[in-house]
Structures are given as C-alpha cells and as structure tokens.
Structure 1
Amino acid sequence: MQGHCIIITQYVYELLEKKCNMTKVILPVDVTEEEPRSFIYLSADAMSNPAKLLVLIQGDGVVRAGQWARRLIINQDLDSGTQIPFITRAKEEGYGVMVLNPNENHLEVERPAKPTPLPSPEVSDEPAEKRERKDERESKKKRDFYEKYRNPQKEGETEQIPIRENSSPEEHLLYVWDHFVSNAAARNVFIVAHSYGGLSLVELMSQREAQVKNRVCAVAMTDSVHNIWHQDASKSIQEWLQQHCRNWVSSPEPLDTPVEPMLPDCPRLSAGRVCDSGFNTAYTFHLSISLNL
C-alpha cells in the first residue's frame, strides 16, 4: 500500500505541473543545500494576478499537495479525490491559484546504527569453533525475529528532521501567508480549507487577524475540525467567521440545507451526501470560490 501511495502522490504532482501548468516553489525560500525542504505549487499568475487569488488547503495525514482524500482517489477517481477540478475551474474563472502542502513537515532519515558491544570474555571448556557456530545461530534467530515483527514505520531506526518554519500544518500556513499570500497582488483572496485546514486557518487568524480580514473575502470550509473555544478565538474572529465563512459538512440532507451549528461561529451547510472520507465533490465550485459574502 505504501508503494501505491507514493505512486499516487507523484502522479498528482505530475498532473499539477503538466495538466494544470503549476510551478513547484521550494520552502523555506532561503533553504540551504544541507537542510530539509518542502514546497507548494503556484499558478503562473498566483503572485501577479491583480484581481483574485484562490488558496487551497487540504486536511492532515498522508495527503500531499493537490490531494483532498487519498481514499477517494483509490476507490473512486482523481476528480473526486484531488484538487485538479478546483484548479482547472479557478483558472477558467480568472483566479490565480496557490496549492499548499501542509503535511510535508519533516525529512525522515536513517538513524545511525549503534555499535554492538562486544561480549565479555567467558571462561568455557567449549571449543572456539563450536562457540562461534552457536553464536552465529543465535544471531540469526534474533535477526529473523526482528525482521518478522519489525514495525512497518521502522520506529527507532529512523529520525525526523523538521523542516524549518514548516514543521506543522499551522506553521506551514503561517509561513505561506507571510511569504506568499501577503505579497500577492490580488485584491481579493479566497480560501478553500478542508478538515484540519480549517483549524489551521483559525490559528492563522489568531496571529494575523488584521491582515486576514483585510485580504480574505470568503472562506469555504469542508468538514472543518476547527474549534473556536479550544483555539481561544477572540469574539472579533468569531464574528468575522460568521460573516465570511461557510462550512459544508457531510450530511444526508440536500445540498446547501442548513445544518445545526455545533458552535457559534460560521454557518454549516449540507454537502449533499455523506462521504466516508469526509470530502465530497458535491461541494460545488461556485459555492466554494465564488462565495463573496
């Protein structure tokens, strides 16, 4: 399965670059040769489009840039599980586009092997050749045991080196905001934030409230997991979310049917049908990025 995931990820990157004509931009912007790096994708006019910019933020987990839900990609199709339809339509509608990559947070490297201590010499009447054969058999048994029950993630054998200023989804969004979104020419910024992306957005507002309010026209959340109480969102942030955001949630109710809000923040609407992965392409494009409230 891990091999399939790598193939999917690389194929989606290829679609972003060849089908959508997006450019990969390395993060941090001043990365050195020695340190780990991440990246985002930008359309050709992402920084220069004077009118409008669309920012796409996926949820957490294994999904990488350009993906909404890997399960949908595998079980349904690319249109359901990737951001390709959003990007294509956005470009047709004259938007610049930024595709974030909030889950590329560290570089995994092999941990240096610890030297095996030499056994203390023991007095034995056993011939040296026989002892060597016995030790070799014992070592093989141990190797076979560890190989059979090895953790697939190789915990303890690898270590994670965090990517500077991008070591978490929240850090990543803040970094992209400071270095790209805030410097883009677009007068109007629109955001689609899925699942954990909504939580990261609320964290961004806690640190850049005035800037976000000044630039962002509307936010379409999809099954967002943000929580204004746990995240200590100020009353002014709550009021802004109420006015400028909508959260489409998995529901058997018809599309756009109001759903009882769990917290007094942004209104919740039905996404049209329940989807086991949490994301549903019934979050139609005109509702998502033309939401100029």
Structure 2
Amino acid sequence: MKNNPWNYEEIWLAIEQHDRHYANIFVSNDFRTNQNGCLILIQGLSVVRAGQWSRACCINESLDIGAMFPYVTKAKEHNLSVIILNRNQTSYIDKETYSNHEDTKASSENLHSFYLSPDSLPLLSSTKPVSNLSTSYEHFLYVYDNIIAKMSPTEKFYIVAHSAGGDNLTYLLRQRQDCILSKLSKIVFIDAFHAIISSDTDEIKKFFQYNALHFIASDKPMGESIHFSQKPFCSEVSAQSFKT
C-alpha cells in the first residue's frame, strides 16, 4: 500500500505512545485535504490485516477478490480519500518477556511468524493487549476519535464493512451517533454480521433502512434483490458468489 501506484501513508497506533507502536492502518495521500468524501474500509474477523478481505481468496483466487485494491481504485476514480482499518491487530509480543522464555528462541523470524501466521494469534504469556486497542471495537472507536474525526476535513463518509466488521460499525454508530450519523452518506455490508437492537435510536434504524445495502453470497445475478434475513433492516442484494 505504501508503494506505487497507491502511495498510501502508514499510521502506527497508538499515536500517543511515540516509542511503542503496535497496530498499523493506512490512509490515502489526500486523506488530510480531500473535502469531497472519504471511504472507510473495515475487514472481518480472523487473521486478515489492513488491506485484506480474505487471505484464502488472495491465495486461491486473486488479489482483486481477496484484497481491497479494487475499492481503493474506485475511490480514487470518484475523488474519495480512503482509510483502511486493521481491527484484528489487537495484541503484540512483548520482546523482553519473549526473550526470557526458556523454551522460546527470540528471533526476528519467530516474531514475524507470530504476526504473519495464517492461524489465530496464540495466547502466550509474552502476548500483550495493545493499550486502547485491545478489541476490534476499541480499534474502530480509537481510529474514529483520533484519526478520522481529527484529520479528515470531509463532511461525507462512506463505509464498506465485511463480515464481523459490520458489528464493529453498528457499535461505532451507537457510541458516536451524534458525531458521525449526519456525515454518513452510505453503508455497504458484505456478508456481514450486524443487527438492530431495541435500544437503537429511530435515527439509526431509519438510516439503515434508506442508506444501507447488504451484499450477500448468492447464485442470483449481481445486485438482484434477495430475501436472506427473516427481518432485514436494510436492503439485501446478491453478491453473485458462493461462500467458500
């Protein structure tokens, strides 16, 4: 993401901990100046990191399917800035504790395998939660409060949320409704987990009803209306694909 043709800026979190950075996100080079609009991309659960929707699809199909490149390309075509979250990077290896393990050889290769493993990150005694970013909910809230709200000048946001990222999105709306809802233009869910609860405001429910779209794996043609949920609170359409 940091190289051509994207040239995105990498921001390390938490930003107030100048000597210790544990989670990285990416923003387009016009993120701080673009007033036309901003696209927020949030991935789902598991081992995927910033810029990825699915590692399996990246390997078995193509980067156009498994990575976010087509989305950032479209954003540029429509003059939108972009911010890519990294909701699953919520822990890190404490190198000092790690090096003191008798049964563990502290090396850069072992540390790389921890962060790049295709499996869920192991819960070791040397694994520590990232302060203020120890859950995916904290991650999105922190990024919104400290990066999006403070650095982006736009008054118009678009969000694409995949899988469990949909749950993070609804959490953000509940926590920051007064700040973001009036600036939110459209939401797209992709095979996402999300739900309306009894305490949700009428404003949130109405926004989902008229401004949210849920793409769901189906054998129907792309964009065709489908009936997947028993009580959908937003429009559901076919993504013209099968889950694997």
Q: TM-score range by the shorter chain?
A: 0.7 to 0.9
Q: How far off is 1:55 after superposition?
A: 0.8
**Aligned residue in 1 for 2:114:** none
Alignment-derived partner of residue 233 in structure 1: 200
Instruction: Label 1:48 to 1:156 Cα distance change in 2 as closer, same or farther (>3 A).
Output: closer
Give, in angstroms, the shift of residue 27 of structure 1. 1.0
Does the C-alpha gap of structure 1 residues 155 and 224 become closer, same or farther in structure 2, counting only changes over 3 Å? closer
Q: Distance in 1 between matches of 2:240 and 2:49?
A: 26
Change (3 A) 1:156 1:191: closer
Partner of 2:12: 26
The structure carrying a bigger helix percent of its residues is 1
Q: 2:182 aligns with which of 184, 198, 214?
A: 214
Q: In angstroms, what is the RMSD of aligned CA positions?
A: 2.3
Q: 2:30 aligns with which of 33, 36, 45?
A: 45
**What is the TM-score of this pair, normalised by structure 2?**
0.84
CA drift at 1:36: 4.8
User: Which runs of at least 4 in structure 1 moved beyond 6 Å after TM superposition?
Assistant: none
- Give 3-state SS (helix, strand or coil) of 2:3's partner: helix
Distance (whole Å) between structure 2 residues aligned to residue 235 and residue 50 of structure 1: 29
1:204 aligns with 2:172: yes
1:248 corresponds in structure 2 to: 215
User: What is the alpha-carbon distance in structure 1 between the residues aligned to residue 59 and residue 199 of structure 2?
Assistant: 37
Which residue of structure 2 aligns with residue 257 of structure 1? 224
Q: Whose Rg is larger?
A: 1
Shift of 1:154: 9.4
Q: Which letter maps to 1:163?
A: V
Match of 2:84 in 1: 99
Residue 258 of structure 1 aligns to a residue in which SS?
Answer: coil
Aligned identity (percent) is: 28
Alpha-carbon distance, 1:234 to partner: 3.5
Summarize the alignment of residues 48-59 of structure 1 with structure 2, pairs less than 5 Å apart: 48-59=33-44
- Equivalences, count: 224
Runs of 5+ unmatched residues, structure 1: 1-14, 115-151, 277-293
Q: Is the 2:10–2:24 Cα contact (8 Å) retained in structure 1?
A: yes
How far apart, in 1, do the equivalents of 2:134 and 2:149 lie?
20
Structure 1-normalised TM-score? 0.70
Aligned to 2:238: 270
